[in-house]
């Protein structure tokens, strides 16, 4: 957390001076608020535009465009040297999410009540359980990565 807060010097200084353990509403910074909200606002705006783009260019190109924007945002965030680069990266991530988000509902609706022949029911049921377990099991994996990265930061 400290390495991230160094992008926001005023918040970082305030955190170092504050000895309380209350984590709720601890940071009162406009820059940090813009950083946090930029992804969501960009996703909202781009999802409104994405339907028109998809109608004109097709689903594949629209999804490809969203993926390219998301990857560009990840690269900008990964190599960010200043706050403005973080915000631009988050905006690109949001645009990518907004373009890709419109297809999630279509895919989800096709999976809600699929027709299965009795012989395929067992196999398809196992697939659905595997997908749900994969999503559930990723949470401990993420926690483990965070734990070891924090341990590495403390050693350096």
User: 43-47, 89-93, 124-128: which range is least confident on average?
Assistant: 124-128
Are 74 and 32 contained in the same domain?
A: yes
Tokens representing residue 55 in the block: 């109608």
By the 8 A CB rule, do 96 and 69 touch?
yes
Are 74 and 120 contained in the same domain?
A: no
How many domains does the structure of the chain reveal? 2
Residue 90 is predicted with a pLDDT of 93
- At 61, give phi and psi (nearest 5°): -65, -35
* Polymer length of the chain: 156
By the 8 A CB rule, do 111 and 132 touch?
no
pLDDT, tens digit (0-9, with 9 covering 90-100), for 8-21: 666 666 666 666 66
By the 8 A CB rule, do 78 and 23 touch?
no
Q: Which of 65, 83, 106 is the C-terminal boundary of a domain? A: 106
Query: What is this structure's pTM?
Result: 0.58
Are 23 and 96 contained in the same domain?
A: yes
Tell me the longest C-alpha to C-alpha distance in the chain: 66
Are 57 and 127 contained in the same domain?
A: no
Category of 27 on φ-ψ map: left (φ > 0), alpha (ψ -120 to 50) or beta: beta
Residue bearing the bigger pLDDT, 143 or 81: 81
Are 80 and 137 contained in the same domain?
A: no
């Amino acid at each position: 957390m400290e390495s991230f807060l160094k992008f926001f010097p005023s918040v970082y200084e305030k955190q170092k001076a504050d000895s309380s353990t209350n984590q709720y509403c601890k940071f009162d910074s406009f820059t940090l608020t813009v950083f946090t909200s930029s992804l969501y606002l960009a996703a909202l705006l781009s999802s409104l535009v994405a339907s028109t783009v998809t109608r004109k260019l097709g689903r594949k190109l629209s999804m490809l465009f969203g993926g390219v924007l998301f990857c560009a945002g990840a690269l900008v965030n990964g190599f960010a040297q200043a706050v403005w680069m973080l915000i631009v990266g988050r905006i690109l991530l949001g645009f990518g999410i907004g373009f890709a988000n419109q297809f999630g509902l279509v895919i989800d609706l096709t999976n809600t009540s699929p027709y299965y022949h009795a012989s395929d029911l067992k196999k398809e049921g196992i697939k659905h359980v595997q997908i749900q377990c994969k999503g559930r099991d990723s949470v401990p994996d993420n926690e483990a990565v965070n734990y070891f990265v924090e341990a590495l930061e403390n050693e350096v």
